[in-house]
Amino acid sequence: MITIRKTSEESITALTSREVESQDVTEVVAEILADVKQNGDEAIRAYTKKFDGAKLAELHVSEAEISSAIQETTPEFLAVLEQAKQNIQQFHEKQVQRGFITTDEQGTVMGQRVIPLEKVGVYVPGGTAAYPSTVLMDVLPAKIAGVSKIVMITPPNAEGKIPTAILAAAKIAGVDEIYKVGGAQGVAALAYGTESLPKVDKIVGPGNIFVATAKRMVYGLVDIDMIAGPSDVLIVADESANPRWLAADLLAQAEHDALAQAILVTTNEELAQAVQVELQAQLDALPRKEIAQHSIDNNGKLIVAKDIEEALAIANQVAPEHLELCVAEPFSLLGKVKHAGSVFLGHYTPEVLGDYFAGPNHTLPTEGTARFSSPLSVDDFIKKSSYLYYSKEALHTVANQVIDFAEMEGLSGHARSMRVRKEEL
Amino acid sequence: MITIRKTSEESITALTSREVESQDVTEVVAEILADVKQNGDEAIRAYTKKFDGAKLAELHVSEAEISSAIQETTPEFLAVLEQAKQNIQQFHEKQVQRGFITTDEQGTVMGQRVIPLEKVGVYVPGGTAAYPSTVLMDVLPAKIAGVSKIVMITPPNAEGKIPTAILAAAKIAGVDEIYKVGGAQGVAALAYGTESLPKVDKIVGPGNIFVATAKRMVYGLVDIDMIAGPSDVLIVADESANPRWLAADLLAQAEHDALAQAILVTTNEELAQAVQVELQAQLDALPRKEIAQHSIDNNGKLIVAKDIEEALAIANQVAPEHLELCVAEPFSLLGKVKHAGSVFLGHYTPEVLGDYFAGPNHTLPTEGTARFSSPLSVDDFIKKSSYLYYSKEALHTVANQVIDFAEMEGLSGHARSMRVRKEEL
């Protein structure tokens, strides 16, 4: 049974430490990247055979495969996907940035344009579970941004097939091209381009340690969204919270991954005890019990804080991916939250609502990176470009100041670029 | 003398290839990072002695040092710094993003907050030239974003001193703390924290290959702005352009760095010939001739395109850091520019205007990364955090759809988090 720990007995740092993955796969990934860069499709096919067990003649998913996937999906689930799409679109449309312009009477014009990225690659993990929600969450903001070409990659199963739900979600989201390739080799294909796959400008989407390492290594040649780590939730709860609901929310997080982290911070010790009992009871009923048990045993925490201020201090220290405020007056605490990917307010907003359906993105900063990172958004699929125009008169006005600055920095060639114009004015 | 090349004789890819730095300093940098992580200030002092020749008792720059730097700076130059500050502030204030909220009648509230980063580290390069402009360009957007603590680091000279212009600019920009440390050890100090230096959330600013490699290696633990490479300019010019001015602008870029790249693309072969002659004449007059000559010889290009459309296609292929449109009607081409850090419009807007003074940021995406990266901006110093609230009624309305989605993704614990609430509704 998971221990209840108190801030009166331990430091916040000790309370919030977590098990981390330390596997270094850099060498393996570097080799795969180099191989794909040099050998293209041939290398992709070899790795797909080796890692996924699939012998593929064609990497590109055909229109026929997509159509039959749609036909194999139930109308009910297609309707859920369509509703989720609508909700996600509505939320993300609010994120659209506009350019700006400034002008003055001397004849200067300056500003910033907002330009969509041209080509984006979306990685969708394979493996035991299929996550169509990831397809919607990663593709729809790119569509709203105006990306011209969205290329999705995902590993096939041993029969060379992609789950129908993934293909259906890709079709609904508006993916332009889909390829059967995963792992570091998939990231390499998108970063360098191959005979079949186009080189893209940015790669987004979650993946295992091989995918994450490959993304880190190609960062700079292409952009990436973030290095995703295991998922986490922190729940701040007061005496108004329902322990059964809290335990269910903690376990929903824990079932993702043995390295996932689920933390409860409460001001009420009795609530912590009730959650402790519920956790054990509900764990036994979970199909993914083994994973959830490992996560709870290693990274699960029940913490009793002395007051709500301290509970929020712990939350800000952890900078959780998901923060639930299961308290009577959740909006009163929102302004105290400094670092969290997404905040779920009140008793009727379990984190699960954000995973599929509500509208905000579920791709969120993990492992404390909410200190400096943001949820995936339309902003991830645009770039900005500034522009300047000076009239002859405006240039004349500032010429001496710019020349002084350039000379002070020791760059006479810079000063000269102003002087040659000034001479002829 | 630099060759004139024509699109009729070579492919755009061949025309735009460039010399790149391939030095791998990963091992050296990894060792420095590990040493600073473990030994803190002691390691910093040892590296500062080794690399900068300075034996420092105190890493922190005192108020007295800053005051005397201000006194040693001429009033004229302080006035130029103040004017530059005002221009940069006015431009960057337009970049401030606001949060948003969406509500509906069922009782859902969702939105996105914009939160400043707490602590930011700014790297200012040392070496032969002092760049106070970098201080203004990197610090002012952070101030506007609302960053609580801005920590500047820069390597000292052998006497343990920082150039007065750098300290004056730091004071004017509003830096909170300054430390005498550079190189990979400086990046490590900001990423891990030491006895003297605070750990920050993000590290920005240009630096040499050691600094860039260190930034790449700590990325994820902290955020970084970008991996800066050598600077570049591409000028698109028509027959209305002045060859003397174009040559001066190309050389202003070339004097930065032997690896810098300066390209002219023109529709007019006579103009190219005139620039070719001017380049040689002006090179001889440059104090930094040796650097500029190397850059021009290796990466300088004079390209004759068949028409303005093709000239823009070359510009978009290169995705230059700086793009000058030295043509009669520059605004008519702006919409054709897909990839450029900053665009300088017309004959009286040399790139140099953007380096110090006009307002837009001079920290721009290099080496073609303008395909997916943006100028440094206020956006680099904020993060976004989403929030969701569902009322009991709103939860009830969507419960079944969310449960279906969760079960379809094979996550029963997720479905359960909804069910336990639905049961009790």
Q: Identify the pLDDT of residue B353.
A: 93
Encoded tokens for B406: 């969760």
- Pairwise CB contact (< 8 Å): B411 & A288: yes
Instruction: For residue A414, say whether it is annotated as part of any ligand binding site.
Output: yes
Q: Identify the pLDDT of residue A266.
A: 97
Which uninterrupted H or E stretch holds B92?
Answer: helix B75-93
One fold for A4-21+229-359 and A26-99+115-224: yes
CATH topology of domain B229-372: Rossmann fold (3.40.50)
What is the rounded distance in angstroms from the CA atom of residue A50 to the CA atom of residue A181? 12
- Pairwise CB contact (< 8 Å): B405 & A201: no
Encoded tokens for A419: 């002087």
- Pairwise CB contact (< 8 Å): A133 & B409: yes
Nearest chain A residue to B379 by CA distance is: A379
What is the rounded distance in angstroms from the CA atom of residue B70 to the CA atom of residue B173? 13
Contact status of A108 with chain B (Cβ, < 8 Å): yes
> Does B246 have pLDDT greater than 80?
yes
- Pairwise CB contact (< 8 Å): A377 & B384: yes
Instruction: For residue A97, say whether it is annotated as part of any ligand binding site.
Output: no
- Give me the residue from A220, A331, A388 closest to B342, CB to CB: A388
Contact status of B47 with chain A (Cβ, < 8 Å): no
Q: A4-21+229-359 is classed in which CATH architecture?
A: 3-Layer(aba) Sandwich (3.40)
- Pairwise CB contact (< 8 Å): B417 & A248: yes
Contact status of A352 with chain B (Cβ, < 8 Å): yes
> Does B17 have pLDDT greater than 90?
no
Instruction: For residue A356, say whether it is annotated as part of any ligand binding site.
Output: no
CA distances for A319 relative to A231, A263, A337, angstroms: 12, 12, 9
Which uninterrupted H or E stretch holds A3?
Answer: none
Give domain limits for chain A. 4-21+229-359, 26-99+115-224, 391-423
E strand intervals along B238-390: 261-266, 301-304, 322-326, 342-345, 382-390
What is the rounded distance in angstroms from the CA atom of residue A300 to the CA atom of residue B104? 35
- Going by pLDDT thresholds of 50, 70 and 90, the confidence category of residue B278 is very high
- Give me the residue from A115, A117, A389 closest to B345, CB to CB: A389
> Does B14 have pLDDT greater than 70?
yes
Number of residues written out for chain B: 425
Identity of residue B359: G
Lowest mean pLDDT among A74-88, A408-422, B17-31, B367-381: B17-31
> Does B1 have pLDDT greater than 80?
no
- Pairwise CB contact (< 8 Å): A251 & B94: no
- Going by pLDDT thresholds of 50, 70 and 90, the confidence category of residue B218 is very high
Q: B26-224 is classed in which CATH architecture?
A: 3-Layer(aba) Sandwich (3.40)
Instruction: For residue B21, say whether it is annotated as part of any ligand binding site.
Output: no
Tens digit of pLDDT per residue, chain A (425 long)?
Answer: 788 888 888 888 877 777 665 677 889 999 999 999 999 999 999 999 999 999 999 999 999 999 999 999 999 999 999 999 999 999 999 999 999 999 999 999 999 999 999 999 999 998 766 789 999 999 999 999 999 999 999 999 999 999 999 999 999 999 999 999 999 999 999 999 999 999 999 999 998 889 999 998 999 899 999 888 889 999 999 999 999 999 999 999 999 888 899 999 999 999 999 999 999 999 998 998 999 999 999 889 999 999 999 999 999 999 999 999 999 999 999 999 999 999 999 999 999 999 988 999 999 999 999 999 999 999 999 999 999 999 999 999 999 999 988 888 888 999 999 999 998 76
What is the rounded distance in angstroms from the CA atom of residue B158 to the CA atom of residue B155? 10
- Pairwise CB contact (< 8 Å): A404 & B349: no
Neighbours of B307 (CB within 10 A): 11
**Hey, which residues 261-290 in chain A have their CB within 8 Å of chain B?**
282, 285-288
Contact status of B56 with chain A (Cβ, < 8 Å): no
Say which DSSP state A174 is in.
T
Instruction: For residue A47, say whether it is annotated as part of any ligand binding site.
Output: no
Contact status of A356 with chain B (Cβ, < 8 Å): yes
Which uninterrupted H or E stretch holds B244?
Answer: helix B243-254
- Pairwise CB contact (< 8 Å): A102 & B94: yes
What is the rounded distance in angstroms from the CA atom of residue A405 to the CA atom of residue A146? 40
Nearest chain B residue to A316 by CA distance is: B118
Best residue in A109, A417, A425 to probe B by mutation, most B CBs within 10 Å? A417
Class for the domain spanning A26-99+115-224: alpha beta
ipTM value, please give it: 0.94
Chain A / chain B CB contacts < 8 angstroms = 365
Nearest chain B residue to A346 by CA distance is: B389
From the candidates B255, B321, B324, B351, which is the catalytic residue?
A: B321
Of residues A350, A315, A330, A347, the one with CA closest to residue A241: A347
From the candidates A92, A255, A322, A324, which is the catalytic residue?
A: A322
Told to judge if B10 belongs to the known catalytic residues of this protein, a careful annotator would answer: no
Please report residues of B whose CB lies closer than 8 A to that of A115. 338-339
* Residue pLDDT, tens place only, B55-70: 999 999 999 999 999 9
Q: Identify the pLDDT of residue A373.
A: 96
Average pLDDT over residues B305-320: 96
Please report residues of B whose CB lies closer than 8 A to that of A248. 413, 416-417, 419-420
> Does B19 have pLDDT greater than 70?
no
Neighbours of A423 (CB within 10 A): 9
What single string gives the DSSP state of each residue in A284-316? HT-TTHHHHHHHHHHH-EEEE-SSHHHHHHHHH
The answer to whether A204 touches A376, Cβ cutoff 8 Å, is yes
Alpha helices in A231-389 (DSSP H): 243-254, 269-284, 289-299, 308-318, 331-334, 352-356
The alpha carbon dihedral of B353, B356, B361, B362 has a sign of: positive
Instruction: For residue A138, say whether it is annotated as part of any ligand binding site.
Output: no
Told to judge if A321 belongs to the known catalytic residues of this protein, a careful annotator would answer: yes
* Residue pLDDT, tens place only, B138-186: 999 999 999 999 999 999 999 999 999 999 999 999 999 999 999 999 9
Highest mean pLDDT among A14-28, B220-234, B322-336, B346-360: B322-336
Encoded tokens for A249: 């929310």
What is the rounded distance in angstroms from the CA atom of residue B358 to the CA atom of residue A398? 9
